[in-house]
Structures are given as structure tokens and as C-alpha cells.
Chains A and B, each alone.
Chain A
Amino acid sequence: MSINLKPETLARIDEAITHYPVKRSAALPLLHLVQEDLGHVSQESMEWIAAKLEVPAIAIYELVTFYPMFRQKPIGRRHIKVCRTLSCALSGSYRTCKEFEKHFNTYPGEVSPDGEVTIEFVECLASCGSGPVVMIDEELHEKVDQARACQLAVRISAEAAARK
């Protein structure tokens, strides 16, 4: 059982474990680090983390199935999270989400046909005063109405085209 982590990820994993008196506490940090490195958390990754923390694999699996941010399958190259919760909905986030779906020809939770994006309609991103808010990868975008969503989508597509 081995997974292919970057050396810096391995170093950060060893560092994270030292933050706690009990190894198991490093489960969430390790899941984040592994997912950031490999894109998702596979069964092999869960088993590797479990061995690293000296816990049964189920102790890691039950976290991956509980916490919404961990995923067991790869997603698109870019991750678009549109906030669905009340304040953003009041300012039009349902339309914002639809705009992204239309542009990338995909539905929330799926990978777009070109493999470029995964859109998620997520719960509160805690920026309620500037809704609708959208996170693209780790960057927060505020007041994303339909027109702004369209601009952002076009930019993502242009970046994808430039990469090819």
C-alpha cells in the first residue's frame, strides 16, 4: 500500500502529527493534505492515512463520508462552489449557479464534459453580506450576479484554452 505524495506533502504530514498529543487528531489535517496533493481521497489514501495514524481504516473512511469537503472521486480541473444558503439565495445565487451550469454544460456535483470544471451548490460560505458569493478553487468572489458569473466562466474557459 503506497500512494504517491510529493515530498513537501510528506513533510507537512509529519509536521501536522506533532501538533497533537494523540495521533488520531491529525486525521483531518492529513485528509486535507492528501486531497490537496492528489485531488481526491482514494481508498488507498484512506488506508495509508489510517496506517500512518495507527487507527483502523474505518476511522478515516467515516470521516470522508461525513465531512462534505472530502471527495472519493476526482473532480474537474477547476472547482466552482456557489453558495446556496439563504442570504446568497436572497441575492440570486440560484441564478448564478444556473449560469455556470449553462456555460460549462454540466450539473452540480458532476465533472463537465471537457473535464475542466466541477460545480457545487454548497452551503454557507460565511460571506453573507456580499452575496451571491462563489469560491473558485481557493479564491472568493463576491457579488457574483449572472453577468459576473458569465465573465468568470468565460475567463476559466479562456485559461483552459490557453493551457491546451
Chain B
Amino acid sequence: MPEQRRLIFQHIDEPGYGNDLACYVRNGGYEVLRRAVQRKPEELIDEVKKSGLRGRGGAGFPCGVKWGLVDRKSGKPIYLVVNADESEPGTFKDRHIIHKDPHQLIEGIMITCFANNVKQAYIYIRGEFPEGARILERAIAEARAANFTGPGILGTAYGCEIYVHRGAGAYICGEETGMIESIEGKRPYPRIKPPYFPAVLGLYQCPTIVNNVETLCHVKHIADMGGEAYSKIGTPNNTGTRILCVSGHVRKPGYYEFEVGKVTLGQLLNEVCGGPLPGRTLKAVIPGGSSAKVLRFGERFKGKRKVGAEMVDYDWGVEDIPMDFDSLGMVGSMGGSGGVIVMDDSVSMVDALANINAFYSHESCGQCTPCREGSRWMQRITGRMVHGVARAEDGALLKSVADQIAGRTICAFGEACAWPTQSFVLKFPEEFKSHEEAKKKADGRAFELA
């Protein structure tokens, strides 16, 4: 069985490991920050660039590049917004970081703020984490009292305040410009880019860095071991470790941390997570949060990929796919937020898609017509199919609606709501052609929608 490598989750399941400052400090906490503030900020940015760290929130954008885009000459303050919205269904890693190791996050935030000369940071935490918000507020107060945050930290002239800002149940706030609007006290309608790139015109029209909770925790470890050493963890272009959240139909769902690309989907599901439930076989998996395109067990992926300096052929089944950003992209899906949702042969794909479509139509912010109308339209079609009213042309109609949303909206929500429909209809055409029959085959154990 592939070994986990726990960097972020090193301590969280240790008996007696608490989320208070004393425990964190006992385990060497804030020592990295102490060393970091003695260095030049640019050196820290360089370490992150060298590390190859890619954002763990969904897009996998290189963190160092993101920081490099920040407008440092505007004369305006630079803000850090910590994305703790964790709104992509299937994802629950940040919940555990926040609840069990909040000081690791705060240390990562402070190193990031020092490196980027940020004086004010906001942690945008989803409204559904009231306890998480209280834990963070207490942790910030503890850290402030110990001079790790606040004015003049650790004997330097540098100071930074961190505030917790609670969301209120809207998925779209996870989109970085929607999040910024939400902190400004508005409806979280994503902004159009250009010109509103957060790095230039973000919060209060000031340069803003938006990073995911897990990403910021990695920054702490990069500052600790150095970018060079960190870049040797994982695989080329997919460095470091990553927390994979597995849910659905396996024996041992949960969170697992691996070096990126060092575990395949098959190893993860069959060895680490104990395989399918008794008497079942795996049917489909969504590898990177509910908006990622679904993979069907039995399908094969062929092509050429770069290994070192040469191009080599690959011929993968779903089980063979390495769990890294690039490989999951090559098979037409994505690593996304690391949320792996597993479905076995008891599930009707129409039921599953109807569930996803209900989510996205509920969460569309309504700003762009294709998404607002299209997500609702797809939901109505699959909703009707679930209730037994299916037409032969439904599959084609679903595809047509989805195709007309993707690429035609201000933010990536358009793709997020189109990809499930596009991939489900493409990969399980028989279920969308004859839903009644498919429904008879699946035993409907999971869903009782009637």
C-alpha cells in the first residue's frame, strides 16, 4: 500500500494534540515564522517560486506566479484574503486544518503576509463553520497576545492584523472575486477579468492575494525546508503533498495526504480506502470536487506524456491515473480541490447528475444569463427524468444546454456547472437514452428522491 506523507496533517490525529497555542508551540510552532521575519521578504517569495507550489483550492495555479503578479508599485495597501470557504462538494480538508490545527494556518498566513508586505488579512470562512470561526478567532487572539500577529511582531517593525469574516451559505463566494465582493459587503457577483485581476484591482480596488487554506499551510513548510527541498517532494510540476478527501462508496472514506502524483486513483480507492462496499463494484468517480468531469471505470486513456526529457506513451485505465494536476487534466478531468467522490453500481447516473444539477442551479449567482437559465434548465430536465418522465432526446438537450454555458460566463462557475452534465451524458449515454432501464438496473439504494 502506498505510504501517506503527512506534512500538513502531521499532527492532527495524534492523541492529545490540541488546537491551542501552547500545544502548537510545544511542537515547534511559530519557529519558522521567527526565522522568516529575519530574512528579506523577496527571498521568501523566491522560495515559494522555487518550490513549484500549486494552489490547492481548485485551479492549481502556481502560487509563486500569483504572488509575482501583485502590483507592488501602486502605493496602495496589499491585502491577503484567505479562502476558507471550502465550498466545492466533496472537499473537507480545510475543515480539519481549521478545527484541529488553526495555528499552522496562522503561521502560514503570517509568513505570506510578511513576504508580501501585507498589513491586513481576512480569513473568509464559510458560514457553515461557526465553530471553526470561533476556533480561529481564539487562535488569532492567542497568537496576537504572544506577539506572532498584530503590531510589531517578534521584535520587528513589521505588523499585520488578521480578521475572520464569515460567509453565509453561498458557494459562489469561493470564487476569488466573488469572495472579494462579499468582504466588501455586497452580493458576491464575480468580477470581470480584465480589469479586475485581484493582484491589481482586488479588495477595495487594492492589490490582493487570494490563497486557499491548504496552500498557505504549505507556505509554512516551504519557508521551513526551503523551496528547493520542497520541490523534490511529489513529482515534477506537481510538487509537495496534497490532501485527498474521499467520500461516497468506499469502505474507508476520509482524508489522506500523499506526495502529489505518488498514488494512483486505483491505489487510493482500492488499497488506501479499502475498495468498494461488500458485494459492489465501482462504477464512476469524480476526482476533484463535484464540478470535475466524471471518470467511468472501464474507460481507457491513451496519449503521450512527458517523463523527464522524453515523451512516452501512456495507456491508462481509471485505476492507473496518478493523482496529480497534470495527469488528471490529461484524462479530461481535473485535480480541482482534491475531493474524490466515488459511486458504485447501485447508483443511477441520472440520479447522481440530478443531485449535482440541483446544487449548481441553487448556487448560480444569477449574474450571467447562460449560467442562471442554463443551470436551472439542466436541473429541471434531470429532475423530471428522476421522476420517471424521460424523453429520447434528453441526453442531446442536456449536452446542448451545457455546451452553451461553458465559456460564456464571467467566472468559472459556468464550466463548473456544465462539466458534470457534459461528462455524465457523454460517458453514460445508455442511461440517458433509456433512463427507465438504467434505473431498474441500479437498485436506487443511495437515492430516494421520490
Identify which of B89, B94, B352 gathers the most chain A CB atoms within 10 Å of its CB. Answer: B89
Q: Kindly report which residue of chain A lies nearest to residue B77, judged by CB atoms.
A: A21
User: Which chain A residues in 103-160 approach chain B with CB under 8 Å?
Assistant: 122-131, 135, 138-140
- A67 to B165, alpha carbons, bound, how many Å? 14
Identify which of B86, B247, B290, B339 gathers the most chain A CB atoms within 10 Å of its CB. Answer: B247
Q: Does A74 contact B (CB under 8 A)?
A: no
Q: By the criterion CB–CB under 8 Å, are B168 and A89 in contact?
A: no
Residues of B contacting A87 in the complex (Cβ-Cβ under 8 angstroms)? 89-90, 247-248, 341
Q: Does B130 contact A (CB under 8 A)?
A: yes
Min CB distance, B105 to chain A, in Å? Answer: 16
Known: A66-B170, A68-B169. A126 touches B187 (CB 8 A): no
Q: Kindly report which residue of chain B lies nearest to residue A26, judged by CB atoms.
A: B185
Q: Does A86 contact B (CB under 8 A)?
A: yes
Q: Does B163 contact A (CB under 8 A)?
A: yes
Min CB distance, B159 to chain A, in Å? Answer: 15
Q: Kindly report which residue of chain B lies nearest to residue A53, judged by CB atoms.
A: B185
Q: Does A28 contact B (CB under 8 A)?
A: yes
- A128 to B247, alpha carbons, bound, how many Å? 6
Scan B73-112; emit 1 where CB is below 8 A from any A CB, else 0: 0000000000000110111101100000000000000000
Q: Does A70 contact B (CB under 8 A)?
A: yes
Partner of B204 from the list A21, A28, A122 (CB cut-off 8 Å) is A21
Q: Does B49 contact A (CB under 8 A)?
A: no
How many interface residues does chain B have, given as a range? 35 or more
Known: A86-B89, A90-B249, A129-B246. A123 touches B171 (CB 8 A): yes
Scan A73-106; emit 1 where CB is below 8 A from any B CB, else 0: 0000000000011110111101100100000000
Q: Does B333 contact A (CB under 8 A)?
A: no
- A53 to B186, alpha carbons, bound, how many Å? 13
Min CB distance, B123 to chain A, in Å? Answer: 11
User: Which chain B residues in 185-239 approach chain A with CB under 8 Å?
Assistant: 185-188, 204
Residues of B contacting A66 in the complex (Cβ-Cβ under 8 angstroms)? 170, 187-188, 365
Q: By the criterion CB–CB under 8 Å, are B359 and A85 in contact?
A: yes
- A87 to B352, alpha carbons, bound, how many Å? 10
Residues of B contacting A129 in the complex (Cβ-Cβ under 8 angstroms)? 92, 245-247, 253-255
Q: List 28 A-B contacts (CB under 8 A).
A: A21-B204, A22-B184, A22-B185, A24-B184, A25-B185, A26-B185, A28-B166, A28-B167, A28-B168, A29-B165, A55-B185, A59-B185, A59-B186, A67-B168, A87-B341, A89-B447, A90-B341, A91-B446, A92-B446, A124-B171, A126-B87, A126-B126, A127-B95, A128-B89, A128-B341, A129-B245, A129-B255, A130-B253
Instruction: State the B residues within 8 Å of A (CB).
Output: 86-87, 89-92, 94-95, 126-131, 163, 165-171, 182-188, 204, 245-249, 253-255, 286, 290, 339, 341, 343, 347, 352, 355-356, 358-359, 362-363, 365, 446-449
- Apart from A25-B185, A63-B168, A124-B359, what are 13 other A-B pairs with CB-CB below 8 Å? A19-B163, A25-B183, A66-B170, A68-B170, A69-B169, A85-B355, A87-B90, A90-B248, A90-B446, A124-B87, A126-B87, A127-B92, A129-B246
